[in-house]
Structure 1
Amino acid sequence: MGIYVGQSIAGESGEGKGRAGGGMGPISHPSTGLDRFHQNIRRAGMGFRTILVHVDTGPSAPKRLKLSADLAARFEAHLVGLYVRRPFQAPAFTDAGPAMDSLYRTYESAVQADEAAAMAAFGTTGPLKAWRVADGPAEQVVAAHARYADLVIVGQAEPDAAAEATPPDLAEAVAMAGERPTLIVPHIGAAKPPGRTVMLCWNGTREAARAATGALPFLKKADKVVILLVDPEDEPGGAGVHVAAWLARHGVTAVVKRDTAGGADIGEIILSRAADQDADLIVMGLYGHSRMREWVMGGASRTLLASMTVPLLVAH
């Protein structure tokens, strides 16, 4: 993909000067969501050692950066800030020559100013902080760098399109790439640090299993974990109990809540139940598909991405 990392600060060993650089035995019922948990147990069991946060100059960036720093401190993780330089786009009517040169100089000056502002906001002091700069489409660049992290933090789309410093669908594109668990921070920020009261949305799918497994470090540190099932298809006491038992083996005590949609938007139900439980983090699978290079999200996913009031940890 030709990603070039322009800078690396605060010691990313093994990556060079600025360049980005087990089996569990047979599964008896690979179609069940619980079995999918065990495929990723070892990957999630050690916690977050590297956290990647996307840095831009949008109005919500400072809140996202503060949350990222708080989480890195809580998990004693290496925090990597990634700034993606927006590509130069010349107007179609502009001919090559002095006019094009002038446009490019203006672009380069603006990008350098944005980069400097982003780096200053992130801060680069400290033994567990590193800074990366890359060129390319933001969705592809962040997804590629996610492969070298345990958790990726991005922001919800800004409500004011004019203030958007990155593509408005960056969060869902990175999450749908499925490289690592993705924590999406609301543009309003978080009223309190996420992960003390966690709502885990469960429907037995692969996406839900990946999200739950990716959230294990949060779940292990949580004071309260609620497993929410909306219109569960299994018999009473089925999947919810199995998930709670799996979590218990990791030292996580969880309560199971079952609800019915009754024709209502499931995303709205999730947000309502999260408010009832005073949840500060929602964990769920993300559903959608690509159409003409744009992501078409499922109903609940679309609702939460648009209306989230607390951070959302998702996986595809």
Structure 2
Amino acid sequence: MSFATILVILDASRRSYHRLDIAARLAVEHNAKLVGMFACRRPEPAWVYRLPDGARYSEALQAQYEQDREVMRHGFEGATEELPITAEWHAFDDLPLVIGQREARLADLLVVGQDDPADPAAFVAENFVESIVLASGRPVLTIPRVGWFQTVGSRVLVAWDGGREAARAIRDALPLLRKAKAVTIATCTLAGKVGDQWSAPSQYAVTWLAAHGVTAALRNLPVAASGDAGERLLSEAADLEANLVVAGAYGHNRLREVVLGGTTRTLLEAMTVPVLFSH
């Protein structure tokens, strides 16, 4: 398996340029085609025209959208014109979620930015990253809203719970894991809890990776409560100086995680390093 096409989703925020830089470096490293796609908040006419002077307001928003799109297009072309890869710019007028989910089928890897409530320019759609992870059918590399990551994937922490999503995640991340200098399989264990008979032991992940030429170490991370797993993984990533976390997304019922919290939600909201989600 390899990455033949990497799709980076860009918005009007300044963080898009860092995301583009990461995606371009990955495309060069994997000799992949890089596709840049602009996805920005679009006003829906149904409610815009209910506003006083709604038509003029809609025209102003459309003009701003087109200006932001052109600025990012120039940024994408400038960042990729001298790279030894094929680079394509895609722009669409559909709603961002429709675009993101539909166009994802063309790619092997998606690169997106973590939701940032503090930056209006970064807003694409409500729960945009979560929706892309759940509906795209592709691994989604999510770049945190803060921090600068010169290298992504040289030191990798893989979250392993023995379930379907974890197995899918290491399969999806294999091109990155093969190039990593250090890979650690981490399992969070709750004291007194008996393991699920359907869950594969962490050693299985090590054995499977070894068959694909990847050497991985094992770490057992005790946690006091099941809801602590996300924070424990991020803490371990910091201790190991990992610059990528690989995790299966929503291994439990999604509603349960939304209501009670969960590893996926913690990583989505509190990530300190890039996270590759797979569902």
Q: Normalising by structure 1, what TM-score?
A: 0.77
Aligned residues: 263
Match of 1:147 among 78, 84, 105: 105
Query: Which residue of structure 2 lines up, in the alignment, with residue 245 of structure 1?
Result: 207
From the superposition, tell whether residues 142 and 201 of structure 1 become closer, same or farther in structure 2 (CA, over 3 Å).
same
Counterparts of 2:259 and 2:107, CA distance in 1? 26
Query: Which residue of structure 2 lines up, in the alignment, with residue 309 of structure 1?
Result: 272
Counterparts of 1:138 and 1:100, CA distance in 2? 22
1:266 is the counterpart of 2:267: no
- Is contact 1:186–1:310 with CA below 8 Å preserved after alignment? yes
Q: Normalising by structure 2, what TM-score?
A: 0.86
Query: Which residue of structure 1 lines up, in the alignment, with residue 16 of structure 2?
Result: 61
Match of 1:131 among 67, 82, 89: 89
Counterparts of 2:63 and 2:214, CA distance in 1? 51
Amino acid at match of 1:270: L
Amino acid at match of 2:214: V
- Is contact 2:40–2:124 with CA below 8 Å preserved after alignment? no
- Is contact 1:289–1:296 with CA below 8 Å preserved after alignment? no
Q: CA deviation at 1:165?
A: 3.5
1:71-90 aligned at under 5 Å gives the runs 71-84=26-39, 86-90=41-45
Query: Which residue of structure 2 lines up, in the alignment, with residue 105 of structure 1?
Result: 59
- Is contact 2:157–2:184 with CA below 8 Å preserved after alignment? yes
Amino acid at match of 1:315: S
Query: Which residue of structure 1 lines up, in the alignment, with residue 169 of structure 2?
Result: 211
- Is contact 1:86–1:135 with CA below 8 Å preserved after alignment? no
Deviation string, structure 1 residues 191-248 (Cα, Å, up to 9, x no partner) = 331111111111111111111110000110011000001117279xx71211111100
Counterparts of 2:40 and 2:239, CA distance in 1? 41
Q: CA deviation at 1:159?
A: 4.3
CA RMSD of aligned residues (A): 2.3
Deviation string, structure 1 residues 27-57 (Cα, Å, up to 9, x no partner) = xxxxxxxxxxxxxxxxxx2x11100000111
- Is contact 1:60–1:189 with CA below 8 Å preserved after alignment? no
3-state SS of paired residue (1:184) = strand
3-state SS of paired residue (2:91) = strand
Match of 1:191 among 117, 141, 149: 149
Counterparts of 1:53 and 1:228, CA distance in 2? 28
Match of 1:282 among 236, 245, 270: 245
Answer 1 or 2: which has greater helix percent. 2
Amino acid at match of 2:25: D
More displaced stretch, 130-139 vs 218-227: 130-139
Counterparts of 2:76 and 2:203, CA distance in 1? 42
Query: Which residue of structure 2 lines up, in the alignment, with residue 40 of structure 1?
Result: none
Q: CA deviation at 1:139?
A: 2.0
Amino acid at match of 1:57: A
Q: CA deviation at 1:60?
A: 1.3
- Is contact 2:8–2:37 with CA below 8 Å preserved after alignment? yes
From the superposition, tell whether residues 271 and 136 of structure 1 become closer, same or farther in structure 2 (CA, over 3 Å).
same
Q: CA deviation at 1:105?
A: 2.6
Q: CA deviation at 1:128?
A: 0.7
Counterparts of 1:204 and 1:53, CA distance in 2? 30
Q: CA deviation at 1:168?
A: 4.7
Amino acid at match of 2:219: K
Counterparts of 2:5 and 2:104, CA distance in 1? 10
Q: CA deviation at 1:61?
A: 0.9
The structure whose Rg is larger is: 1
Amino acid at match of 1:110: Q
Counterparts of 1:219 and 1:58, CA distance in 2? 30
Counterparts of 2:144 and 2:174, CA distance in 1? 21
- Structure 2 residue runs of 5 or longer lacking an equivalent are none
Give percent identity, aligned residues only: 35
- Is contact 1:200–1:228 with CA below 8 Å preserved after alignment? yes
Amino acid at match of 1:275: A
More displaced stretch, 138-147 vs 216-225: 138-147
